[in-house]
Chains A and B, each alone.
Chain A
Amino acid sequence: MGTADPELTNNQEYGSNLKILASNDQVKELQTILRDRNTSRSDFKFYADRLIRLVIEESLNQLPFTDCKVITPTGAVYNGLKYQSGNCGVSIVRSGEAMEQGLRDCCRSIRIGKILVESDADTHEAKVVYARFPENIAQRQILLMYPIMSTGNTVAQSVNVLKEHGVKEDCIILSNLFCTPLAVKTVMESFPKMKILTSELHPVAPNHFGQKYFGTD
């Protein structure tokens, strides 16, 4: 199983299940553009899609694989590896859907489920109002997509729904762009076996993401 990824830095404080995309200048630039209030919508979407693609590619690195040998056109043997089939994406409506295209660009025919979580206007309690999954979701590895995590409530509710459908906690990988330390703590305490992949831990989350990406601000 692929766990030793040079691309990722493991944060000691949170244990090995939190993985942060190795920050290079390039990733930092993408984050800067997305956080800048003066970024135009078209730029925002363009750079968001780039960052999403990088996060998705990194998330796929967390999936299980086996070694295999193939013959190249020159007749030589290449020691490669093969990913297991039976993966599935699940996006949390609405901002999680922004990441679906990135996943599609990497895995053409992957099945994608959806969860809609809404906050109660009075109690601020997150509630799942809609969930639709592939039939045998319990046997699959899940890539849960949600770009911004500030409290972790929405994600926590979504994971609960997945678990109700028989999905094992250690089969879930959360793909995330921006995340607060608070949210990580909350989620990891509730679901210690779930993996979280994010591009940045920062006390302030860019909560305008969904609105600006879909143009409803």
Chain B
Amino acid sequence: MAAKITTFEPPSSASSDSECGETQADFSEVFPDYEAEEEKSGNFYNTPASPITVPYCARPPSAGSQKSPKARRQRTTSINKSSKQTASESVLRTQHRTIYTAGRPPWYNSAGQQVEPFVIGICGGSASGKTTVAAKIIAALDMPWVTLLSMDSFYKVLNEKQHHMAHDNEYNFDHPDAFDFDILVSTLQRLKEGRKVEVPIYNFVTHAREARTKTMYGANVIIFEGILAFYGTKLLNVLDMKIFVDTDADIRLARRLRRDISQRGRELDGVIKQYTNMVQPSFNHYIAPLMTHADIIVPRGGENEVAIHLIVQHVHAQLQLRGFKLREELAHSYVGQSLPETVHLLPTTPQIRGLHTFIRNKDTPRDEFIFYSKRLIRLVIEYTLSLMAFVEKTVETPQGVLYNGKRMATNKICGVSILRAGETMEQAVCDVYKDIRIGKILIQTNFSTGEPELFYLRLPKDIKDYKVILMDATVATGAAAMMAIRVLLDHDVPESNILIVSLLMAESGVHSIAYAFPEVQIVTSAIDPEVNDKFYVMPGIGNFGDRYFGTEPSGE
């Protein structure tokens, strides 16, 4: 476990000590039995730092009483591009840098609009091999980000009588009535819109939903699997591609017997009784007829390489129509236009130019760099607060006269920093606004693709009601800022409530953000004309985070 955590430590340490502590606590919560999980799930691996998690409950066990808590699986899996790799391979160590490759890449295009994910539904009888097919598709897709949603999360909460029936192998977990289709459909629809969803966690011992939920996000590809995945027109309408896994009944029974007896410690009689009374009739009545809705029927499940190959080809063709390259597109557009109206540039006073002179100079020692950055940050944050809405207010003074003043119209303001460089601005926000709530978003550039990737986020719970000061020290192409804004929008923050605040921005980044999000206010102390081929602002500051935290590669 400990070794695993280091994998997801943000690539610096200077300011992220507390960060790691928090994340660490997170992991242990998310992975109660990581070891056990790993051997079962084979070619899946967990990326706990990523925000996409796949709640995965145990199979309908039918006999809750016989299940030990250990059998209750709670997988939080992010299946992504490197699903063929092991977890350790998501971290590349070179001589100078540690490179992390397991974040969430953009799920929107260069105009900031969400690219609709491709939703694949996989239906088939119990133990027909749906999960294996899903895993093979994911591996063959080679897509950076895939979300897997299981129907098992949506079992209905049982009342006491039903609970006893389940205990006696008499509750039918294979009947459509056992599922909560309303929540299921709305969850899937929201995922398809790229929104954040809270997926229930079903507890097969108590047959109730646990108090906590799993947060999931839309992805480039969403795979939804379940025995009744095609049940009802509402579900069918959400699915872009429908796959039915058709495996012989005797093979399914054999697998089920093996799984329930050897892995879940159940009695042979009970399993047979449940199978003949409920599983088999339900299959014939409800599941098998769903085959008519399928776009493609995969006989023999996961072994069928040809079928999987065909499916993957189709998905690739569909995705190519939607387009994902982001950063490069951003860097080369909108050159030479006048600045958008939403840009608020601090007046260029001698002090501000003087501060810029210090922090831009490559020979400035770190203590001076930090000192003068902080001064500049403070000015930027003060300026940002002056952009808030204010109301007239008359107060009594100790001198006995009334004073016509102003007060801020809202007290719901929060800060969100884009790690790591944005973290340097947190102190200034706390210094000017008492008891402000601070959220964090970790976005790193993937060094192989040049694309930003989302690794981690923690936001105040009711962030949709807040004015959000989104902080990043520098904005070059705007790719990271746009991803962060997109995350806030996914959390239902109105666009007009967001201010992106930065010390230095490149002109192209300003235009990209303003074009994609015309209502977001942009605040900065300087706008530089260019971005170079390494996506640094020119003349710029260099890598602000590296210089502030002292993590510059040596010998460069």
Chain A: residues with CB nearer than 8 A to chain B?
2, 5-7, 24-29, 31-33, 35-38, 43, 46, 50, 53-54, 57-58, 60-61, 63, 65, 68, 70-74, 76-78, 80-83, 105-106, 108, 204-208
Contacts and interface: CB of A to CB of B under 8 A. Distances in A.
Given A29-B407, A65-B354, A80-B356, A6 B349 contact: yes
B398 A206 contact: yes
B390 A83 contact: no
The A contact surface, by secondary structure, is: mixed
B538 interface: yes
B386 A37 contact: no
Contact of A206 (B375, B388, B399): B399
* A-B complex: 8 closest residue pairs judged by Cβ atoms: A32-B405, A73-B542, A80-B357, A26-B386, A76-B539, A2-B350, A70-B361, A36-B395
A205 B400 CA distance: 11
B388 A74 contact: no
A71 B390 CA distance: 42
Interface in B364-406: 371, 375, 378-379, 382-383, 385-386, 388, 390, 393, 395-399, 401, 403, 405-406
Contact of A82 (B357, B385, B408, B432): B357
Nearest to B389: A25
A26 B353 CA distance: 23
Contacts of B405: 28-29, 31-33, 35-36
Contacts of B353: 80-81
Contacts of B363: 70-71
Given A7-B347, A26-B383, 20 more contacts: A6-B347, A25-B386, A31-B405, A32-B407, A36-B395, A36-B405, A50-B382, A53-B382, A60-B351, A70-B357, A70-B360, A72-B362, A73-B362, A74-B542, A81-B353, A83-B354, A204-B397, A206-B397, A206-B398, A207-B399
B40 interface: no
A26 B382 contact: yes
B532 interface: yes
B539 A5 contact: no
Contacts of A72: 360-362, 538-542
Interface of B: 347-351, 353-354, 356-357, 360-363, 371, 375, 378-379, 382-383, 385-386, 388, 390, 393, 395-399, 401, 403, 405-408, 432, 434, 532, 536-543, 547
Given A29-B390, A106-B375, A73 B350 contact: no
A7 B348 CA distance: 9
Contact of A25 (B388, B403, B537): B388
Contacts of B351: 57-58, 60-61
Given A54-B382, A72-B542, A74-B539, A32 B360 contact: no
A5 B24 CA distance: 49
Contact of A38 (B354, B371, B395): B395
A106 B354 CA distance: 12
Contacts of A58: 349, 351
Given A35-B403, A38-B396, A74 B347 contact: no
B240 to A, nearest CB: 44
B524 to A, nearest CB: 16
Contacts of B542: 72-74
A72 B542 CA distance: 7
A61 B351 CA distance: 5
10 contacts: A25-B386, A26-B385, A29-B408, A50-B382, A50-B432, A58-B349, A61-B351, A76-B539, A80-B356, A205-B399
A37 B406 CA distance: 15
A199 B253 CA distance: 82
Contacts of A105: 375
Contacts of B375: 57, 105-106
Contacts of A24: 386
Given A54-B382, A80-B353, A80-B357, A35 B395 contact: yes
Contact of A32 (B362, B403, B539): B403
A81 B390 contact: no
B357 A57 contact: no
B397 A68 contact: no
Contacts of B382: 26, 50, 53-54
Given A32-B407, A81-B357, A76 B540 contact: yes
Contacts of A43: 434
B540 A204 contact: no
Given A24-B386, A73-B543, A37 B395 contact: yes
B361 to A, nearest CB: 4
Contacts of A60: 351
A106 B378 CA distance: 10
Given A36-B397, A76-B540, A5 B357 contact: no
- Tell which of B349, B379, B434, B532 has the most Cβ of chain A within 10 Å: B349
Contacts of B536: 74
B539 A78 contact: yes
Contacts of B434: 43, 46
A208 B356 contact: no
A196 B371 CA distance: 27
B145 to A, nearest CB: 31
A208 B378 CA distance: 27
Contacts of B532: 74
Contacts of B349: 2, 5-7, 58, 61
A206 B399 CA distance: 7
A77 B350 contact: no
Given A76-B538, A76-B539, A32 B378 contact: no
- Tell which of B351, B357, B375, B536 has the most Cβ of chain A within 10 Å: B351
Given A27-B386, A28-B390, A81-B350, A204 B401 contact: yes
A38 B434 CA distance: 18
Contacts of A78: 356-357, 360-361, 539
A37 B398 contact: yes
A68 B357 contact: yes
B511 to A, nearest CB: 20
A35 B542 CA distance: 44
B397 A28 contact: no
A36 B405 CA distance: 9
A81 B536 CA distance: 23
A58 B540 CA distance: 25
A65 B356 CA distance: 14
- Tell which of A25, A54, A106, A205 has the most Cβ of chain B within 10 Å: A25
- Tell which of A76, A83, A106, A206 has the most Cβ of chain B within 10 Å: A76
A8 to B, nearest CB: 9
B354 A81 contact: yes
Contacts of B398: 37, 206-208
A28 B406 contact: yes
A38 B350 CA distance: 37
A80 B348 CA distance: 11
A73 B468 CA distance: 31
